C-alpha cells in the first residue's frame, strides 16, 4: 500500500497534533512541519503577538499563505493549527494535496488538557487573559461545535482520547496504509 506523500493533522487545540506529528513522521521516514512554528519563523514573532498586533484575520491570511508554501514539498507530516481547516479553501486544499487526519477528542478531555495551556492560545483568551475553569469549558464547547463539521470532513478520523501516544501513532499508520493515494 502506498502512504500519501503529505499527511495533514487537524483537530482542536490541545488534541495532540504537535506531539503525534513528529512520531508519525519518524515512523514514515517523513519530515515534520508544525505550521504555527513555520508562520512564526516567516513573520519573526509568536502566534500570540500576531493575534495581538494584527488581529485574527491577519493570522488566518498568513496561515493560508504558509499552508500553501510548505505544501510544495513531499514526504511530510504537517500539523495544522486548530482553526486552519475552518476555511473551506484550506480544507479542500489539504485533501487535494494529501490525506487529512482529524485527531478527535471529547470537549471534557480537551478542557483537562488545555487548563494549563490556554495562555499561549489567543482563541482561549478573553479581554487579553486566558480563560479557565467553567468559562474555558464553555469556550471549548462553543468553538468545537462551530468547527466539528469541518473537522469531520477529514479523510481519516482517529479517536485519540484515551490512547497512549504509541497506540495513536499505530492507529494512524494502519489507517493510512488502508487508504491508498498519492
Ligand atoms: C488556533 C490554534 C492554534 C494556533 C492559533 C489559533 C485555533 O494552534 O494556530 O492560536 O484557532 O484553533 P494549535 O491547534 O496547535 O493550538
CATH, domain range 6-105+151-175: 3.40.50.300
Does pLDDT of 9 surpass 60? yes
Q: What are phi and psi of 46, to 5 degrees?
A: -80, 160
pLDDT at 180: 52
Looking at every residue in the chain, the average pLDDT score rounds to 95
The closest alpha carbon to 10, from 162, 149, 123, belongs to 149
The pTM for the full model equals: 0.96
113-148 pLDDT per residue, tens: 999 999 999 999 999 899 999 999 999 999 999 999
Is residue 179 pLDDT above 80, yes or no? no
Q: Is 83 in the pocket of ligand 1 (CB under 6 A)?
A: yes
Average pLDDT over residues 72-91: 97
pLDDT in tens, 15-37: 999 999 999 999 999 999 999 99
Q: From the alpha carbon of 18, which atom of ligand 1 is closest?
A: 15
Separation of alpha carbons 11 and 16, rounded Å: 8
Instruction: From 15, 153, 164, 168, select the one nearest 93 (Cα to Cα).
Output: 153
Q: Closest Cα partner for 123 from 97, 143, 151?
A: 143
Q: Tell me the H-state helices in the chain.
A: 17-28, 35-43, 47-54, 56-70, 88-97, 107-114, 133-151, 165-177
Mean pLDDT value across residues 40-66: 97
Kindly report the protein residue whose alpha carbon is nearest to atom 9 of ligand 1: 81
Checking if the pLDDT of 72 tops 70, the result is yes
In this structure, the residue with its CA closest to atom 11 of ligand 1 is 83
Q: How far is the CA of 35 from the centre of ligand 1 (A)?
A: 10
Domain boundaries, the chain: 6-105+151-175
CA–CA separation, 83 vs 50, rounded Å? 15
pLDDT of residue 1: 61
Residue 3 banded pLDDT, cuts 50, 70, 90: confident
Amino acid at each position: 500500500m502506498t502512504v500519501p506523500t503529505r499527511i495533514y493533522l487537524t483537530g482542536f487545540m490541545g488534541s495532540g497534533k504537535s506531539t503525534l506529528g513528529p512520531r508519525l513522521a519518524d515512523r514514515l521516514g517523513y519530515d515534520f512541519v508544525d505550521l504555527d512554528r513555520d508562520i512564526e519563523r516567516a513573520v519573526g514573532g509568536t502566534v500570540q503577538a500576531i493575534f495581538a498586533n494584527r488581529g485574527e484575520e491577519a493570522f488566518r491570511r498568513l496561515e493560508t499563505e504558509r499552508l500553501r508554501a510548505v505544501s510544495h514539498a513531499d514526504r511530510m507530516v504537517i500539523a495544522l493549527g486548530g482553526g486552519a481547516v475552518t476555511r473551506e479553501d484550506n480544507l479542500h486544499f489539504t485533501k487535494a494535496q494529501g490525506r487529512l487526519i482529524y485527531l478527535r477528542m471529547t470537549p471534557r478531555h480537551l478542557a483537562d488538557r488545555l487548563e494549563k495551556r490556554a495562555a499561549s492560545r489567543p482563541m482561549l483568551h478573553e479581554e487579553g487573559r486566558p480563560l479557565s475553569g467553567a468559562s474555558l469549558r464553555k469556550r471549548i464547547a462553543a468553538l468545537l461545535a462551530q468547527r466539528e463539521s469541518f473537522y469531520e470532513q477529514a479523510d481519516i478520523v482517529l479517536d485519540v482520547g484515551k490512547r497512549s501516544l504509541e497506540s495513536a501513532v499505530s492507529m494512524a499508520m494502519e489507517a493510512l496504509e488502508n487508504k491508498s493515494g498519492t
